[in-house]
């Protein structure tokens, strides 16, 4: 049985624009209502303007009015599969410390909760 979130992450990875790093990444985010939002990394000659796949997927979901998620799958295409970068961890954490994060490689899979990837995070509750 194929996991639709994993399939979506691998499929969108093919659309990545990564001419500088050659590190194509796809991400698929599952909303609480079951909808899937996919994103890929988009690099820029001005490196600081690059957007990662995870943030691309979150931004698409937010643009669709979605704010609650079950899990995110990241397909970086390397072994062992890489976890999201620090910026993506912070953006994902905004939407829940218990979000399930999965990284899938060609041969293996890793899994964490957001609070494990970004302990003692700065979040909305920090502003109260």
Enter the DSSP assignment of 52.
Answer: -
d(CA 80, CA 103): 9
Cα–Cα distance for residue pair 57/53, rounded to 1 Å: 6
Catalytically annotated residues: 54
Q: How far apart are CA 9 and CA 53, in angstroms?
A: 9
Backbone angles phi and psi of 104, in degrees to 5? -120, 130
């Amino acid at each position: 049985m194929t996991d639709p979130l994993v399939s979506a992450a691998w499929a969108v990875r093919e659309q990545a624009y990564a001419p500088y790093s050659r590190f194509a990444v796809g991400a698929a985010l599952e909303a609480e209502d079951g909808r899937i939002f996919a994103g890929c990394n988009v690099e820029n000659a001005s490196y600081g303007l690059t957007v990662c796949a995870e943030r691309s997927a979150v931004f698409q979901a937010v643009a669709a009015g979605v704010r609650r998620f079950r899990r995110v799958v990241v397909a970086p295409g390397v072994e062992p599969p890489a976890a999201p970068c620090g910026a993506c961890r912070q953006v994902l954490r905004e939407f829940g410390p218990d979000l399930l994060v999965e990284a899938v490689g060609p041969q293996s899979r890793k899994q964490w909760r957001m609070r494990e990837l970004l302990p003692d995070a700065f979040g909305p509750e920090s502003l109260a």
